[in-house]
Structure 1
Amino acid sequence: MRQFVAPFIRYLEEEKNLSASTVSSYQRDLGPFMEFLEQQDLVEPDKVSRALLVMFISRLKQDGKAPATITRSVVTLRSFFHFLVRDGVLSHNPALLLDMPRQDKKLPVVLTTEEMEQLLKAPDLSTVQGSRDRAMLELLYASGIRVTELVSLNDENVRLDLKYVHCRAADGKERIVPIGGAAVYWIQQYEQEARPKLVQRQEVQTDPALFLNMNGKRMSRQGFWKLLKKYAADAGINKEITPHTLRHTFAVHMLDRGADIRSVQELLGNSDHGEPLLYRHVPRPSMKEVYDRYHPRAGMYAPNSHE
Structure 2
Amino acid sequence: MIAAGDDARLIDRFLEMLAAEAGAARNTLMAYRSDLRGASEQLDGGLVSATPEALSTLGEAWADLARTTVARKSAALRRFFAFLADEGHRADDPGHVLPKPSAARSLPKTLDHGQVDSLFAEMERRRALDPERPETLRLTAFLELLYGSGLRATELVSLPRNAIRGDAPFLILRGKGGRERLVPISDRARAAVAAWARTLPPSGAYLFPSGKGHISRIRLYQLLSALGADAGIPPGKLSPHVLRHAFATHLLEGGADLRALQMLLGHADIATTQIYTHVDSRRLVELVNARHPLVDAGRSRP
1:36 is aligned, of 7, 11, 18, to: 18
Partner of 2:163: 157
| Aligned-pair CA distance for 1:101 | 7.5
Quick one: percent identity of the two aligned structures?
A: 31
Partner of 1:48: 25
Residues 1:273 and 1:234: Cα distance change in structure 2 (over 3 Å):
closer
- Give me the whole-angstrom Cα distance separating, in 2, the residues matched to 1:27 and 1:147: 28
- Give me the whole-angstrom Cα distance separating, in 2, the residues matched to 1:159 and 1:143: 15
Q: What is the SS of the residue equivalent to 1:208?
A: coil
Question: Is the counterpart of residue 263 in structure 1 residue 260 in structure 2?
Answer: yes
| Aligned-pair CA distance for 1:113 | 1.8
| Aligned-pair CA distance for 1:217 | 4.8
- Give me the whole-angstrom Cα distance separating, in 1, the residues matched to 2:268 and 2:238: 24
CA deviation string 1:92-129 (max 9, x = no partner): xxxxxxxx975442221111122112213434332110
Residues 1:68 and 1:242: Cα distance change in structure 2 (over 3 Å):
farther
Structure 1 unaligned residues grouped into runs of 5+: 1-23, 57-65, 77-99, 200-205, 276-307
Q: In the alignment, is the contact (CA less than 8 A) between 1:155 and 1:208 conserved in 2?
A: yes
| Aligned-pair CA distance for 1:207 | 2.8
Structure 2 unaligned residues grouped into runs of 5+: 1-6, 33-58, 60-67, 78-99, 273-302
- Give me the whole-angstrom Cα distance separating, in 2, the residues matched to 1:190 and 1:36: 48
1:211 is aligned, of 196, 208, 212, to: 208
Residues 1:218 and 1:109: Cα distance change in structure 2 (over 3 Å):
same
CA deviation string 1:134-165 (max 9, x = no partner): 01110111110101000110122213312112
Q: What amino acid is aligned across from residue 160 of structure 2 in structure 1?
A: N
The 10-residue stretch of structure 1 (182-191 or 246-255) with the greater mean CA deviation from structure 2: 182-191
CA RMSD of aligned residues (A): 3.6
CA deviation string 1:241-275 (max 9, x = no partner): 22100110000010000011110111001123549
Q: What is the SS of the residue equivalent to 1:165?
A: strand
Partner of 2:95: none
- Give me the whole-angstrom Cα distance separating, in 1, the residues matched to 2:104 and 2:184: 33
What are the within-5 Å matches in structure 2 for residues 169-208 of structure 1? 169-192=175-198, 194-196=199-201, 206-208=203-205
**Paired positions, count:** 201
Greater fraction of residues in helix: 2
| Aligned-pair CA distance for 1:68 | 7.0
1:237 is aligned, of 221, 233, 247, to: 233
Q: What amino acid is aligned across from residue 157 of structure 1 in structure 2?
A: A
Q: In the alignment, is the contact (CA less than 8 A) between 1:165 and 1:176 conserved in 2?
A: yes
Partner of 1:107: 107
